[in-house]
Amino acid sequence: MTEWCEKCGLIVGLGCACNLAPVGRHRPNESRWSRFSPDTLLISSRNMAHVPGACEHMTEEQVLNPENGWGWIPNPDPALWDRISAGHPVQATEGDTSRAARSRCKDCAATLAS
């Protein structure tokens, strides 16, 4: 019998990571970002997830400018980054809340993995 997670909606053991211990990740230490914590998930107008200071594609000022259409999730589940995909889009909760991340920035992913 398939068990579905009530928290994330994915199958337990086949995508759901809600009950797994958080995986330690390298978060940028020398970030010049002040408005967003290093755990915030940023979502661009192209619906791509980024992490503050983990790549050079944008600045905090660009993200905060409403004309640029960025959304974000300030306190995401620690495993949420790994679940972002076309099949599991992640909706912004602040900023432009119409944004839903369907992919992850490869440069951010590389920084987090190092």
In a domain, 9, yes or no: no
Q: Count structural domains, the chain.
A: 1
Residue 60 lies in a domain: yes
- Residue 3 within any structural domain of the chain: no
Determine the distance from the C-alpha atom of residue 71 to the mean position of all C-alpha atoms in its chain, rounded to a whole number.
10
Residue 90 lies in a domain: yes
Which tens digit of pLDDT belongs to each residue from 9-62? 666 665 555 655 444 444 554 457 889 998 899 999 999 999 999 998 899 999
DSSP E strands, the chain: 11-12, 15-16, 41-43, 48-50, 71-73, 90-91, 94-95, 100-101, 103-104
Flag whether pLDDT at 76 surpasses 70. Answer: yes
Give percent of the chain above pLDDT 70. 73
